[in-house]
A and B are shown apart, each in its own frame.
Chain A
Amino acid sequence: MGLMKLITFPMDRSYSLTGPEAQKAVAAGLANADWYRTPVDRKRLKALMQRADGPALRDTALWLGLLGATGAAGIALWGSGWAVPVFLVYGVLYASAADSRWHECGHGTAFRTRWMNDVVYQIASFLMMRNPVVWRWSHARHHTDTIIVGRDPEISGMRPPQLIVIGLNFLGLVSVPQSFAALVRNALGRLAPDEADYVPDSERPKAVRAARIHMGIYGATLIACIAAGSILPAMLIGLPRFYGIWLLLVMGLPQHLGLAEDVLDHRLNSRTVHMNRVLRFVYWNMNYHMEHHMYPMVPYHRLPDLHEAVKHDCPPAARSLWAAWREIVPCVVRQLRDPHHFIRPQLPPGAGAPRYGPMGQAAE
């Protein structure tokens, strides 16, 4: 392959998992390929991978405690102006913070004890309006084929970027109806063609059952709203997915936005961003995203240590969210007229050669 291949961008590219790009990715050896990883000594890596319950128990107690406290305060203050800031915090804890809990517990790395991962995964999946079965498989594919067009179902920054959709999604205005429709579809026993591409047949009954449970809770919330003559129950369950998701997009879109497609090197298609402790609590250290993709078995609470172990071989991390977005915005604006354009991170001197394609093909 090589760098020239990267900039040969067909304008009519489809991101569907069942379209022509899927076949091309397989033919090019980009599906289920061998990815570059910064070498880490086995003993050091093994130490980094060790699981513990303590950090996630502390953080989950704090998360659920804050969620409960702000929810209770929101109920108490309902009808007054003070409810607005309280629900803003509740919404962020509900939707933006749930994403990283969904993510880490889906990987099974947050807790050492398996059932704790599973319980928090189910709760967070519901808060995120995600089918826990479908999304487990979706995310597995995302890790197998990260930002491989036609293979990765979790590409949020397509080219040319759908800036209006991205903007609307800061309030969930496109993603929530889509997520809800997907749950309805699953509850009716159907999977979309893309979902069917990565969810094995044996898992489909579980997906249908999970969707029906979610729909049952939303139905009970609707009944509670009607019975109470108030939207307050929905302000607590469901609607936060609209009004609380904005911070996730601020933190999460920089994971891959503006970077390369169709490469086999997370240093080229994933971004690490330094964040303060409050944001890292909300995001469970997923700002160390490149490191997470290289070694997904390292728990979130050890990602800062993994960052130290690999940073000599990786592009410098963005100093802040502000710095990351200052890099991203001009890139995606340019992509509107030039979808070939993307950011090429600079690897440090002595870094391993970037892997643009399958092993055996030339790297540049």
Chain B
Amino acid sequence: MAEIDACGLDEIDEEDLLRFDHGGHSYAIYRITGDEVYCTDGLCTHEQVHLEDGLVMEHVIECPRHNGRFDIRTGKALGAPVCIDLATYPARVVNGRVLVDLP
């Protein structure tokens, strides 16, 4: 794992997400409130739709195509049509920058 400087905290609205592409892989970085940030794989496990246009509600991300829902903190799939959990990665804020640990 390597810690990557992904973006500035102020680039993500509260209760929103940002797409982040790195090393040929796509991720989603979420900001809930303040410095509370998370990182998951960017593609929904149902039909590989990118989550970047999805809706963040508290700690849930909803896929924009079929409303498959995942817990952002754990990646847990919260019911049909998603059955496979989302991979998550450690994320933190340092000096206004979002750092993520990626493989």
Counting CB contacts under 8 A, is B94 at the interface?
Answer: no
B 61-99 binary contact with A (CB < 8 Å = 1; else 0): 010111101000000000011010000000000000000
Counting CB contacts under 8 A, is A270 at the interface?
Answer: no
When C-beta atoms are compared, the residue in chain B nearest to A118 turns out to be B79
Give the Cβ gap from B77 to chain A, nearest Cβ, in Å.
Answer: 11
- Interface pair B80/A136, CB less than 8 Å apart: yes
- Interface pair A107/B55, CB less than 8 Å apart: no
- Interface pair A32/B48, CB less than 8 Å apart: yes
Counting CB contacts under 8 A, is B16 at the interface?
Answer: yes
- Interface pair B57/A51, CB less than 8 Å apart: yes
Residues in B neighbouring A50, C-beta threshold 8 A? 55
Give the Cβ gap from B59 to chain A, nearest Cβ, in Å.
Answer: 13
Q: In chain A between 28 and 70, which residues have their CB closer than 8 angstroms to a CB of chain B?
A: 32, 42-43, 45-46, 49-51
- Interface pair B67/A296, CB less than 8 Å apart: yes
- Interface pair A297/B83, CB less than 8 Å apart: no
- Interface pair A137/B81, CB less than 8 Å apart: yes
Residues in B neighbouring A144, C-beta threshold 8 A? 47, 65-66
Residues in B neighbouring A203, C-beta threshold 8 A? 80, 83
Residues in B neighbouring A42, C-beta threshold 8 A? 53
- Interface pair B67/A107, CB less than 8 Å apart: yes
Q: Secondary structure at chain A's binding surface: helix, strand, loop or mixed?
A: helix
C-alpha spacing A128/B65, complex, angstroms: 24
- Interface pair A137/B64, CB less than 8 Å apart: no
Residues in B neighbouring A136, C-beta threshold 8 A? 80-81
Counting CB contacts under 8 A, is B42 at the interface?
Answer: no
- Interface pair B80/A109, CB less than 8 Å apart: no
- Interface pair A32/B47, CB less than 8 Å apart: yes
Given A32-B47, A140-B81, A200-B83: A297 and B57 within 8 A (CB)? no
Residues in A neighbouring B54, C-beta threshold 8 A? 297
- Interface pair B66/A140, CB less than 8 Å apart: yes
When C-beta atoms are compared, the residue in chain A nearest to B52 turns out to be A42
Give the Cβ gap from B57 to chain A, nearest Cβ, in Å.
Answer: 7
- Interface pair B48/A137, CB less than 8 Å apart: no
Contact of B66 among A46, A200, A296 (CB under 8 A): A296
C-alpha spacing A295/B54, complex, angstroms: 10
Residues in A neighbouring B83, C-beta threshold 8 A? 200, 202-203
Contact of B67 among A43, A109, A137, A200 (CB under 8 A): A109
- Interface pair A297/B81, CB less than 8 Å apart: no
Counting CB contacts under 8 A, is A209 at the interface?
Answer: no
Q: Provide a sorted-by-A list of 28 A–B residue pairs whose CB atoms are within 8 angstroms.
A: A32-B47, A43-B13, A45-B53, A46-B13, A46-B16, A46-B55, A49-B55, A51-B55, A107-B67, A108-B62, A108-B67, A108-B69, A133-B80, A136-B81, A140-B46, A140-B81, A144-B65, A144-B66, A200-B83, A203-B80, A203-B83, A295-B64, A296-B64, A296-B65, A296-B66, A297-B55, A297-B64, A297-B67
Known: A108-B67, A296-B67. 16 other contacts (CB 8 A): A45-B53, A46-B55, A51-B57, A108-B69, A109-B67, A133-B80, A136-B81, A137-B81, A143-B65, A144-B47, A203-B83, A295-B64, A296-B66, A297-B55, A297-B64, A297-B67
Complex A-B, nearest 10 residue pairs according to Cβ-Cβ distance, in ascending order: A140-B81, A49-B55, A108-B67, A140-B66, A107-B67, A32-B47, A136-B80, A297-B64, A297-B55, A202-B83
